[in-house]
Amino acid sequence: MSTDARYARLFEPVQIGPKTAKNRFYQVPHCNGMGRNFPSSMARMRGIKAEGGWAVVCTEQCDYHWTSDSVREIRLWDDQDIPMLARMVGEVHEHGALASLQLVHMGYYGRNLYSRESSMSPSGRPPGTDFPGYARTMDKQDIANLRRWHRNAALRGKKAGYDIIMVYAGHDISLPFHFLSRRHNQRNDEYGGSMENRARLLRELIEETKEAVGDTCGVSVRLAVDELMGESGLTCDREGRDIIEMLGELPDLWDVNCSDWSNDSVTARFAEEGFQEDYTGFVKQLTSKPVVGVGRYTSPDRMAALIKRGVLDMIGAARPSIADPFLPNKIQEGRIEEICECIGCNICVGYSNNSVPIRCTQNPTMGEEWRRGWHPEHIPPRGTDDKILIVGAGPAGLEAARVLGKRGYDVVLAEAEREPGGRVTREAKLPGLASWSRVRDFRTYQISQMANVNLYLESRLGIDEVFASECSMVAIAIGAEWRRDGVGRAARDPVPGLAAMAVYTPDDVMAGAEIEGPVVVYDDDHYYMGGIIAEQLRAKGLEVTLVTPGAVVSSWTDYTLEQGRIQAGLHEIGVEIIPLHSLHQAQAGGVTLSYAYTGAVQEVAAASLVLVTALQPNEALYEMLLNRQREWADHGIQRITAIGDCFGSGTIAHAVWSGHKFARTLGAPEYERDEVPFRRENMEIAGT
């Protein structure tokens, strides 16, 4: 298929100093939890982006000195680190893309847990994390050292084969940015005071990098031009603008965004596609150099318009490239309907923040490219003649059907409800979660194109129907339900007294139950559901109190960069929050809570209680089928398995991955074999 004329401009080459990017798709840096601990996984993941058509593929944060030691990201402290990075460059070059290196010194944000060095800042201050310590003031020698380290790292980057070396002043976690910021820089020498002085270090780093490697490498700058904190920070109409005005022509490319990371990578719940344009849109007017910007862009029309309107020269993307590494190729080949759009959930960020290989709700192959050999576009053809029945068309069932269909299997997908999608169809109706439906829509479209996959709606199957299906393989994917008994992290046994009041679960709220206020929402789940149910009920005008044993609301969303916004939002709409309390008991007219540290109890009056404590797998059907295993053969059934939330409930990402794994490995059930089902990156034992 050929490129739609509307999108042709997205495939024009862009000059970046001495290098030419083959099109306008630029994968900006993104952490991935692999880094120096899982370098083969990291390299293959980047290579697949290049294969998918991204003209520039950046690394994640690369620590270039041990006074800024993130432990989990990649590093380039000396020549010993070059081979690891060269491996990534090789994978990227293999597909004709440019490899870009993000050189980072975190300044006062560096925890330096491995190197044990003190962190540094323009003007001494407590660290940016909760670690004990102090970031010492940099003297002139420190600044000279930093410039030398940066220059040496750029030279090593060139030696590793990188095409573009990035000087990083993005977000609030880089030393050059700290020098730019009035908040962090109170120096009274030539590196402090006026904007020109505060920009001196950044100017020197750009000039010195160009001088060191500019003959063969492009030199880019990543800069946060607005911190979204008004006059306390850089803003796009004042200092952010001043910097571009001053340094506009120095680098070969500007990669501009908003700071901090929670603003740059804001979730779909809190911002729409393209939200950064208001802040970064001015940059192109002030420089002749190419400008890259981000905004969770997945719509090719939107992308083409950005180029046409002269807002950007290259479409920057982290999350859209994670959800669909082949996004550029799909646009180029006219396969727009096949784009797997990012849903803006930040599961990718959440797991990277847990220092484990990245995963993605939409793309179950993310992080599995090297260790399991999973490719997002290529799936081995079927290896057996099985006909497969999948019971339940939620994320797990839909993904299993999609992948099995692609492999060429005959698939029957039976869904009890009138609509497919399971939990994503339900949850997409909650405030801010409309994009969850993309999980369903991407898969139902693909399935609709396959003659060998048949989806039957309003088909609730029981044992008899499974036995009558004439399928040799059966996957039960009937999901999970929220518990009604209060059992969660805090309570191991059912909470007493629940029969005395009106008790609901998120399933009831999503099904439209009429709930009387005042209502207590008890969140012992700690991810997004508790906070969002409170928001939904408050929006209906009910008096809402959110109680949680956690110290903060929706504590796991700290990893997905949402916690601050969630708690602030609940305060704003008038939800009362009682943290550090568990549900002791319920009684007519209210609940009794118990304080986490002393056990002291307090009563809260309420007409209704919504329990958000745990998603319990729907195990009954699978268990009944297992109990009648002797009858399987009579019905031509060889194997029955459970996948997704009904096997082990969790995130939507987990359900999709579970469905994908089943469909890839069909015929080779992992748990029945003894070997580890994926490659591991064993550390070399160095020296003696």
**Which range binds ligand ADP by CB under 6 A, 154-162, 173-181, 409-417, 575-583?**
409-417
CB of residue 656 to ligand ADP, shortest distance in Å: 8
Three-state DSSP at 452 gives coil
Over the window 337 to 356, marking each residue x when it contacts ligand SF4 by CB under 6 A and - when it does not, the resulting string is -----xxxxxxx--------
String marking each residue 447-466 x if it binds ligand ADP according to CB under 6 A: -------------xx-----
Asked whether position 360 contacts ligand SF4 by CB under 6 A, the answer is yes
If we measure between CA atoms, which residue out of 354, 445, 251, 379 comes closest to residue 661? 379
479 is a contact residue toward ligand ADP (CB under 6 A)? yes
| HSE-CB of 263 using CA atoms within 13 angstroms | 18
Residue 316 CA, chain-centre distance (Å), reads 16
Torsion region of 369: left, alpha or beta (phi above 0 gives left; psi -120 to 50 gives alpha): alpha
Q: Of ligand ADP, ligand SF4, none, which one does residue 415 interact with (CB within 5 to 8 Å by kind)?
A: ligand ADP
Nearest CB to ligand SF4, comparing residues 361 and 649: 361
- Residue nearer to ligand ADP on the CB measure, 253 or 428: 428
Query: Six-digit token pair at 241?
Result: 């603008």
Of 350, 394, 506, 550, the residue at the interface with ligand ADP (CB under 6 A) is 394
- Number of residues interacting with ligand ADP: please give it, by CB under 6 A: 24
**Does position 322 bind ligand SF4 by CB under 6 A?**
yes
CA–CA separation, 474 and 466 (whole Å): 8
- Reported for 109-116, long-range contacts at CB under 8 A and 24+ positions apart, including other chains, are 109/172, 109/173, 109/174, 110/67, 110/68, 110/69, 110/70, 110/135, 111/69, 111/70, 111/71, 112/66, 112/67, 112/68, 112/69, 113/69, 113/71, 114/66, 114/69, 114/71, 115/66, 115/67, 115/69
User: Judged by CB, which is closer to ligand ADP: 178, or 654?
Assistant: 654
**CA distance from start to end of the chain:** 58
- Which residue is it, tokens 């980072």? 104
| Under rule CB under 6 A, residue 417 binds ligand ADP | yes
Contacted by 612, from ligand ADP, ligand SF4, none: CB < 5 to 8 Å by type: none
138 lines the binding site for ligand SF4 (CB under 6 A): no
Q: Does 362 bind ligand SF4 (CB under 6 A)?
A: yes
d(CA 40, CA 48): 12
Instruction: Assess 609 for contact with ligand ADP (CB under 6 A).
Output: no
Closest CA to 366 of 38, 83, 667: 38
Please choose, from the candidates 339, 479, 329, 334, the residue with its C-alpha nearest in 3D space to the C-alpha of residue 400.
479
Residue 347 interacts with, from ligand ADP, ligand SF4, none (CB under 5-8 Å by kind): ligand SF4
Rule CB under 6 A: which of 630-649 touch ligand ADP?
A: 644-646
Residues 281-320 interacting with ligand SF4 (rule: CB under 6 A): 319
129 vs 281: CA distance, rounded Å: 32
Query: Which sequence positions are flagged as catalytic?
Result: 31, 168, 171, 264
Q: Which does 529 bind (CB under 5 to 8 A by kind): ligand SF4, ligand ADP, none?
A: none
Cβ–Cβ under 8 Å, residues 158 and 165: yes
For residues 279 and 225, the answer to whether their CB atoms sit within 8 Å is yes
Reported as type and span, the H/E element at residue 321 is helix 319-323
430 binds ligand SF4 (CB under 6 A): no
- Please, which residue, 331 or 621, has the CB nearer to ligand ADP? 621
Stretch that binds ligand ADP, among 112-120, 145-153, 198-206, 394-402 (CB under 6 A): 394-402
Smallest distance, ligand ADP to C-beta of residue 393, A: 5
506 near ligand ADP, rule: CB under 6 A: no
**Residue 34 found at the interface with ligand SF4 (CB under 6 A):** no
The Cα 110–Cα 118 span in angstroms is 9
Q: Which residues bind ligand SF4 (CB under 6 A)?
A: 319, 322-323, 342-348, 360-362
Q: Which residues bind ligand ADP (CB under 6 A)?
A: 391-397, 414-417, 422-423, 460-461, 477-480, 621, 644-646, 655
